[in-house]
Structure 1
Amino acid sequence: MAGVSGCLKYSMFFFNFLFWICGTLILALAIWVRVSKDGKEIVASGDNGTDPFIAVNILIAVGAIIMVLGFLGCCGAVKESRCMLLLFFIGLLLILFLQVAAGILGATFKSESSRLLNETLHENAKLLTQSTEEAKKFQDAMISFQTEFKCCGLVEGAEDWGQNFKYAQESCECPNMTESQCSPYQGFNVNKQTCLSLIKDLVEKNIIIVIGVAFGLAVIEILGLVFSMVLYCQIGSK
């Protein structure tokens, strides 16, 4: 009867040990953010009206699931436990299915999400002319964005700022004198490019990065499924 491949067995153990360490780090970081004073201040500083701890709670769940799967994979490989390997296989397969489902939903609603983003940015452009507390926070964020990415306004350029232009004047100023990049406004040369297109480009680039990471994880998960099932079959045929 065929024996269990030592190379496959310890490769499976090493892979899942790294998997378990990643889960432990994610869980520890998420718990620290959730319970520590400094962590709460970091999360609260980015509050945009929704529960700031939703993402942290999701990370806690993800870290815990990865830890459990890593533990099952390690113990299943070392102890040659078919039960643990089967549980590891089922858990990893469910995660893979969820990733595929999320990818399909993301592709289906891509145009809808693009439309919602466009509508949200057009609506937020109105905050640039207001003087409420909410508007001030958004204006500060826009000034930082304009300074970093050399743009001005959201939709109509510098005109979006209205009477508040004096607060954003420095961040809107165009360092170049070429007509293709600058345009005159109230006696100043300002960046002609609006921030709307840059924000859309950044969102699209981040989506591509997320898709790339998800694809890489899917490849690793498929390898984990194959190795665990091969080891499962080898143990059964001893």
Structure 2
Amino acid sequence: MGCFGFLKVMMFLFNGIIFLAGGAILGVGVWVKVDSGSLLGVLEEIEDAPAELDQLLNVGYLLIAVGGVLLLMGFLGCCGAMKESRCMLLMFFVIVLLVFIAEVAGAIVVLVFQPLAEDLIKKVGDKAVEVIKRDYGTNSDITGLWNATMDGLDCCGFYDYTDFTHSPFNNITTAYPTECCKLGPCTLQNAMRTNATGCFPKLVELIEDNSVILGAVALGIAALEIAAMAVSMSMYRHIGSKRG
């Protein structure tokens, strides 16, 4: 197998993985939009939510768009390599280049508007606590969602156990969710003694602990994109020289 044949095989395998990943992301996006019992479905029902939360609710459409782009990119890469189509390879190069530029622009926007993101998180947190105090213990969707979240992240409330004070659950039982206490009945005293970490601080801690991994993954994706562009252009020129 010559160098060009090796590049064809690698392009096919690499873009085959992209195609499958795109299909999976597209499926998740569709599921998020049609499943009213999902987290986003519950958020959509929150009254008087911050205006910025509307952008979060569009994540289903974002996943559908990303999945569609990856499907198209994988298709063009696979078929362009196997059929030695210069048109498909050029389209593949353009799409990867646009994705790369969008990622760089997105990273810049995140860095520049980080204070706004922190303000949004505070607004969402305040609204989440309001929902807990109003609905936890009476609304089955809200109660089930928070129980699953607290059990999965091993946390208590958005900030801490005080989020549940004067909630319907607390008013009826004078207790707190079991996730807020390590031992014994989850009374106010046991909750204060346990002082379990809130889900938001827990999530921030999880992201910070894995920031190096996330950075390495981002750099790896950028390197793969640059390599994909280089290989596609190399094949584009090689096919052109053969036909010339």
Confirm or deny that 1:175 pairs with 2:168: no
Residue matched to 2:236: 232
The 8 Å contact of residues 19 and 67 in structure 1, kept in 2 or not, is answered as yes
1: distance between equivalents of 2:136 and 2:236? 63
Deviation at 1:121, TM superposition (A): 1.6
Residues 163-216 of structure 1, C-alpha deviation per residue, up to 9 Å, x if partnerless? 65325253433329xxxxx9x835776421441522432465687766554433
Deviation at 1:128, TM superposition (A): 3.9
Deviation at 1:100, TM superposition (A): 1.2
Confirm or deny that 1:45 pairs with 2:38: yes
Residue matched to 1:68: 72
2: distance between equivalents of 1:192 and 1:215? 38
Q: Greater relative contact order (Cα 8 A, min sep 6): structure 1 or 2?
A: 1
2: distance between equivalents of 1:225 and 1:237? 18
Q: Report how many aligned residue pairs link the two structures.
A: 224
Confirm or deny that 1:192 pairs with 2:195: yes
2: distance between equivalents of 1:54 and 1:159? 27
Residue matched to 2:111: 107
Confirm or deny that 1:95 pairs with 2:88: no
CA 1:206–1:115 in structure 2 vs 1: closer, same or farther (change >3 Å)? farther
The 8 Å contact of residues 4 and 234 in structure 1, kept in 2 or not, is answered as no
Residue matched to 2:21: 22
TM-score by length of 2: 0.69
TM-score by length of 1: 0.70
Deviation at 1:96, TM superposition (A): 0.9
1: distance between equivalents of 2:71 and 2:135? 48
SS of aligned partner of 1:168? coil
CA 1:170–1:68 in structure 2 vs 1: closer, same or farther (change >3 Å)? closer
SS of aligned partner of 1:130? helix
CA 1:148–1:109 in structure 2 vs 1: closer, same or farther (change >3 Å)? same
Name whichever of 144-153 and 93-102 sits farther off: 144-153
Deviation at 1:85, TM superposition (A): 1.4
SS of aligned partner of 1:80? coil
Residue matched to 2:50: none
2: distance between equivalents of 1:159 and 1:66? 41
Confirm or deny that 1:12 pairs with 2:11: yes
The 8 Å contact of residues 72 and 85 in structure 1, kept in 2 or not, is answered as yes
Query: Structure 2: where are the runs of 5+ without partners?
Result: 45-53
Deviation at 1:70, TM superposition (A): 2.2
Residue matched to 1:33: 31
Query: Structure 1: where are the runs of 5+ without partners?
Result: 177-181
